[in-house]
A and B are shown apart, each in its own frame.
Chain A
């Protein structure tokens, strides 16, 4: 077991709502390198959860995949039947959704969560064997085996999140998708859990797709950073290069708006304007109304995702491309 590659190509997902269709992910192309931690960064409503829900096949019922593919271990996950996808769920791809603490069943002990998941995916195994397995996983997230007897209401938010992370490693999958795994926790627990995720990644070599709105968190944990804005994936590249020299004007604005002790605060500034409505996104590049470097072509044509050298990709006309 080690990390697998994921390639999302030209993914288009819309939500059908009373007011029309929300273009939540448009022509999204994203690659998770085998064994890497890839952070998918963006503000609320940028479409990052939509992309991971497409990868994990957990889109809500009003979502419609209009096109694209998600390639994983030789299969296109979007084309699989529900039954075929079951072979992947938990075993190959596990998913820790946002606000996952609420997804524990209040009527079941922690052990029952492990037992039920195991029975569902791979059939029941002897209690003692499973107990040992669960205890070992809990140990790797800094929890005592005694927690297995506890009910969710007896646990703190940080403990619940640790349990869900432990559970996601039950079958040693080759991809773990985590949507905002620390955003609901206090800063101390946030850091401790980020440390655990990093340890688990090092131990198992799993590929991790980490969704976060928090740029410093992405910077601390990720090998590669992918940025979404208004339903477009606009930049993808290695961590250090990204922070050193963000290519897309939006990425640049985002890095400059970051407030952390590692940044020079006198240079911090916000991005003027506001994100567009995805019911009626602007034509061309969706960032052009806020972009300080917008050109005529940006208002008319959507830029392709261009290779900018050194494994970096950017969806911006400033970096060439033919109309």
Chain B
């Protein structure tokens, strides 16, 4: 079995409101994806796009309203409780906020040693050292007796990753692991997650609202998923999604990401304007029916057919897009500030 997790047309609806008025919010709609052993996936989307709900469904914290979740080939809703708990350990979730996810009265050593003992590891101290080295908290002995408040945000987040590793998981799902970490330390967290994938062979899924960080994580061999309004609207090998994006929202997201050169600023803003219509004030997922393209209210290329059910279609090898107007879109050339665009010119 080479799949750790498989989602089959998974949807999650939250109902809110009282007796008189009930409202259904589709946090995730019709998501299908496979997480293979040893794979690397980045999920990008703004707040409210459904990326956290997706992660919670994958890790078993949330039951889907529709569709099926498979862990190691077994349907999760049919698993006996004991098997569910056992398989769940293989799929670990790392919380966004390293300031609240660690127990403040436990030392670094105990944070890792307690769960290791629970999992019946013999050589606890050796294993703690190994895990700390793996997440680049070194020298390990120096940190044994430190408490979380002694550590920077980046280090706390790496400790949270190490704690997730105590269960010897096959998959780590890290939800916005860098959003609360200082910028000079963000790379250290991403590099630790990358190392777990590349060197240890673990499957790692990272969720982020920052498409540049998502690309950094998924580049060279990883997959990039773009979510909007509860839908996966584009996915594929990260290089393809970033250099040849199709969905107008993916293009908008790429163009909305600040680069650092003043000379390209005005050009970036005007390029971005092509993909966000004047109606850009429309809320996330506003307009259209449940099955319509969630971007229809904001999309400058929207047409009546965008109101009918959408699905992901393969547009080039492994690259899928859920857009009915692919043929109506302007041709895409990588923006001139892209590092690899300027490199191409040189070559």
A192, B270: Cα distance in complex, Å: 10
Verify A261–B257 contact, CB threshold 8 A: yes
Which residue from B154, B183, B268 sits with its C-beta under 8 Å from A254? B183
Q: What is the distance, in angstroms, from A266's C-beta to the closest C-beta of chain B?
A: 9
Interface residues of A in 215-273 (CB under 8 A from B): 215-222, 239-240, 243, 253-254, 257-265, 268-271
Verify B268–A191 contact, CB threshold 8 A: yes
Which residue from B255, B258, B266 sits with its C-beta under 8 Å from A216? B258
Verify A187–B339 contact, CB threshold 8 A: no
Contact residues in A for B337 (Cβ distance below 8 Å): 261-262
Report A146-161 CB contacts with B as 1/0, cut-off 8 Å.
0000000000101100
Report B200-222 CB contacts with A as 1/0, cut-off 8 Å.
00000000011111011001000
Contact residues in B for A191 (Cβ distance below 8 Å): 255-256, 258, 268-269, 272
Identity of the chain B residue whose Cβ is nearest the Cβ of A272 in the assembled complex: B188
Contact residues in B for A188 (Cβ distance below 8 Å): 46, 252-253, 256, 272, 276, 280
Identity of the chain B residue whose Cβ is nearest the Cβ of A261 in the assembled complex: B338
Verify B269–A195 contact, CB threshold 8 A: yes
Contact residues in A for B46 (Cβ distance below 8 Å): 186-188
A218, B261: Cα distance in complex, Å: 9
Verify B183–A213 contact, CB threshold 8 A: yes
State whether A270 and B184 are in contact (beta carbons under 8 Å apart), knowing that A187-B46, A275-B152 are contacts in the complex: yes
A253, B184: Cα distance in complex, Å: 7
Which residue from B190, B210, B261, B335 sits with its C-beta under 8 Å from A219? B261
Contact residues in A for B216 (Cβ distance below 8 Å): 259, 265, 268
Verify A186–B258 contact, CB threshold 8 A: no
Interface residues of B in 209-238 (CB under 8 A from A): 209-213, 215-216, 219
Q: Does A5 contact B (CB under 8 A)?
A: no
Interface residues of B in 248-287 (CB under 8 A from A): 252-262, 264-266, 268-269, 272, 276, 280-281, 283
Verify A257–B212 contact, CB threshold 8 A: no
Q: Does B191 contact A (CB under 8 A)?
A: yes
Identity of the chain B residue whose Cβ is nearest the Cβ of A242 in the assembled complex: B260
Q: Does B79 contact A (CB under 8 A)?
A: no
Identity of the chain B residue whose Cβ is nearest the Cβ of A243 in the assembled complex: B260
A313, B258: Cα distance in complex, Å: 26
Q: What is the distance, in angstroms, from A43's C-beta to the closest C-beta of chain B?
A: 4
Interface residues of A in 159-216 (CB under 8 A from B): 159, 186-188, 190-192, 194-195, 198, 213-216
Can you list 7 pairs linking A and B with CB atoms under 8 Å apart?
Answer: A213-B182, A216-B258, A259-B210, A261-B339, A262-B259, A262-B264, A265-B215
Contact residues in A for B211 (Cβ distance below 8 Å): 187
* Most chain A C-beta atoms within 10 Å of own C-beta, residue among B216, B257, B258, B272: B258
Report B144-187 CB contacts with A as 1/0, cut-off 8 Å.
00000001101100000000000000000000000000111111
What range describes how many residues of A lie at the interface?
35 or more
Verify A263–B339 contact, CB threshold 8 A: yes
Verify B265–A220 contact, CB threshold 8 A: yes
Q: Does A19 contact B (CB under 8 A)?
A: no
Verify B261–A270 contact, CB threshold 8 A: no
* Most chain B C-beta atoms within 10 Å of own C-beta, residue among A43, A44, A191, A268: A191
Contact residues in B for A253 (Cβ distance below 8 Å): 184
Identity of the chain A residue whose Cβ is nearest the Cβ of B334 in the assembled complex: A261
Q: Does A274 contact B (CB under 8 A)?
A: yes
* Most chain A C-beta atoms within 10 Å of own C-beta, residue among B253, B266, B269: B269
Identity of the chain A residue whose Cβ is nearest the Cβ of B258 in the assembled complex: A216
A111, B268: Cα distance in complex, Å: 33
Q: What is the distance, in angstroms, from A281's C-beta to the closest C-beta of chain B?
A: 15
Beyond A44-B182, A270-B186: 13 further Cβ-contacts under 8 Å? Answer: A194-B258, A194-B265, A194-B269, A216-B259, A220-B259, A240-B262, A243-B261, A253-B184, A254-B183, A259-B210, A264-B343, A268-B216, A270-B154
Verify B338–A262 contact, CB threshold 8 A: yes
Identity of the chain B residue whose Cβ is nearest the Cβ of A212 in the assembled complex: B258
A191, B183: Cα distance in complex, Å: 19
Verify A270–B185 contact, CB threshold 8 A: yes
Verify A216–B47 contact, CB threshold 8 A: no
What range describes how many residues of B lie at the interface?
35 or more
Verify B187–A270 contact, CB threshold 8 A: yes
A268, B189: Cα distance in complex, Å: 13
Verify B185–A271 contact, CB threshold 8 A: yes
Report B328-347 CB contacts with A as 1/0, cut-off 8 Å.
00000001011100010000
Sort A-B residue pairs by CB-CB distance and give the 6 closest, nearest first.
A219-B260, A262-B259, A274-B152, A216-B258, A270-B187, A270-B188
Q: What is the distance, in angstroms, from A173's C-beta to the closest C-beta of chain B?
A: 24
Interface residues of A in 82-137 (CB under 8 A from B): none
Contact residues in B for A240 (Cβ distance below 8 Å): 262
State whether A216 and B191 are in contact (beta carbons under 8 Å apart), knowing that A257-B186, A271-B185, A274-B185 are contacts in the complex: no
Contact residues in A for B252 (Cβ distance below 8 Å): 188
Verify B269–A217 contact, CB threshold 8 A: no
Verify B183–A43 contact, CB threshold 8 A: yes
A290, B335: Cα distance in complex, Å: 36
Verify B262–A239 contact, CB threshold 8 A: yes
Contact residues in B for A216 (Cβ distance below 8 Å): 257-260
Verify B184–A43 contact, CB threshold 8 A: yes
Q: What is the distance, in angstroms, from B284's C-beta to the closest C-beta of chain A?
A: 9
Verify A156–B187 contact, CB threshold 8 A: no
A146, B149: Cα distance in complex, Å: 49
State whether A260 and B187 are in contact (beta carbons under 8 Å apart), knowing that A186-B47, A198-B265, A220-B265 are contacts in the complex: no
State whether A262 and B183 are in contact (beta carbons under 8 Å apart), knowing that A195-B269, A274-B152 are contacts in the complex: no
A219, B215: Cα distance in complex, Å: 21
Contact residues in A for B260 (Cβ distance below 8 Å): 215-216, 218-220, 243, 258, 260, 262-263
Q: What is the distance, in angstroms, from A221's C-beta to the closest C-beta of chain B?
A: 7
Identity of the chain B residue whose Cβ is nearest the Cβ of A195 in the assembled complex: B269
Contact residues in A for B264 (Cβ distance below 8 Å): 220, 262
State whether A271 and B269 are in contact (beta carbons under 8 Å apart), knowing that A261-B257, A261-B259 are contacts in the complex: no
Q: What is the distance, in angstroms, from B136's C-beta to the closest C-beta of chain A?
A: 9
A210, B276: Cα distance in complex, Å: 26
Which residue from B47, B191, B242 sits with its C-beta under 8 Å from A270? B191
Identity of the chain B residue whose Cβ is nearest the Cβ of A269 in the assembled complex: B187
